[in-house]
Amino acid sequence: MLKKILGMFSNDLAIDLGTANTLVLVKGRGIVINEPSVVAIQYDRHGREDILAVGQEAKDMVGKTPGNIKAIRPMRDGVIADFNVTEMMIRYFIEKVHNRKGLFSPRIIICVPFGLTQVERKAVKESAMSAGAREVYLIEEPMAAAIGAGLPVKEPNGNLVVDIGGGTTEIGVTSLGGLVQSKSIRVAGDMLDKSIIDYMKKNFNLLIGDRVAEEIKIKIGTAIQLEEELHTNVKGRDQVTGLLTAVEITSEHMREAMKGPIKEIGEALKLVLEDTPPDLAGDIVENGIVLTGGGALIKGLDKYLSNIVKLPVYVCEDPLLAVANGTGKALEEIDLLQHTAYDE
């Protein structure tokens, strides 16, 4: 009874704590924050730190800061790389949303990668509690992605979802409200960006940063050969002369640059299918595989994976928001929350 009363007076939150972006949903209001997971820290002459900016404003500072300011991505490869900065970021987002001072603290459900260790899960919970949460639940990313993609996770049928985020690719087979088979690999958007940076350096002697690599990936990145090649100009520094220059590259260059990480994602998907119980495998043959996350938007990735596993592969509607929407639905439906999230 007390929990119901507390719930009436607090804005319960769902947080998709992603490597690239953090999304915050408020119960009954939907997504209210969708910003990069970046924090800009300013240091004074005594070494004391203070938050200068969070989110998009902080991301705009990446690679452009003076010595006393650092733009930090506290989430790396789907895990917390800097606990203090992560706590600052969570607290900032909670305070930005939950600004009704004097009322009860919110209950929060946070989406975490399947591969997180018990210590890392505990750290995520403690960060949220320190940032002002009343209760904290965790939900695993493949389950949140499946819910957000509209899959019938509570039914006794096998559904397979592949969520390609910034730091990790999460693959999960769901049935009866739980994860029957899961795999998390630290190969996703960030690794694709790094492959593009390395390719440009090796083949064009051009030095580019993370942000430029991401822009190229979004604009002309492809997993298959396209009928009509896409072109773009890339600006950077020539590593031989040290001068600023620009080169024209094509989607075929990007396919070559990204083929390693994309192949790893395909291999991980094959492993999950090999370990899936036969009855559920039959359901997946019938239902196909659903792609979510920003990586799902890479041109031709659905066709590439379909060719590898010889099954239909679909990109869900609004893949960028699937995990966040699934986390929000778990918050809206308490029975679903109890099935899929766990309070440690």
What pLDDT, on the 0 to 100 scale, is given for residue 316? 95
Indicate the pTM of the whole model.
0.86
Q: Do 7 and 32 contact (CB within 8 A), yes or no?
A: no
Residue 342 has pLDDT above 90, yes or no: no
| 88 residue type, one letter | M
What phi, psi does 320 have (nearest 5°)? Answer: -60, -30
How many Cβ atoms from other residues are within 10 Å of residue 201's Cβ? 14
**pLDDT tens per residue, range 77-134:** 777 788 888 888 888 888 888 765 545 678 889 998 887 788 888 888 888 888 788 8
Partners of residue 49 on adjacent β-strands:
43
What phi, psi does 45 have (nearest 5°)? Answer: -70, -15
Where are the domain boundaries for CATH 3.30.420.40 in the chain?
2-36+76-143+323-342, 151-315
What pLDDT, on the 0 to 100 scale, is given for residue 303? 97
Q: Do 185 and 163 contact (CB within 8 A), yes or no?
A: no
Residue 174 has pLDDT above 90, yes or no: yes
What pLDDT, on the 0 to 100 scale, is given for residue 20? 85
- The DSSP symbol for 114 reads T
**pLDDT tens per residue, range 307-337:** 999 999 999 999 999 999 999 988 887 545 5
Residue 158 has pLDDT above 70, yes or no: yes
Question: CA 326 to CA 85: how far, in whole Å?
Answer: 26
Residue 52 pLDDT class (50, 70, 90 cuts): confident
Residue 177 pLDDT class (50, 70, 90 cuts): confident
From the options 3.30.420.40, 3.40.50.40, 1.10.486.10, 3.30.450.20, give the CATH code of 2-36+76-143+323-342: 3.30.420.40
Mean pLDDT of the chain: 87
* SS3 per residue for 14-63: EEEECCCEEEEEECCCEEEEEEECCEEEEECCCCCEEEEEECHHHHCCCC
Question: CA 154 to CA 176: how far, in whole Å?
Answer: 4
CATH 3.30.420.40 fits 151-315, yes or no: yes
First-to-final CA distance of the chain: 22
The angle that helices 189-204 and 251-275 make with each other, rounded to 10 degrees, is 140
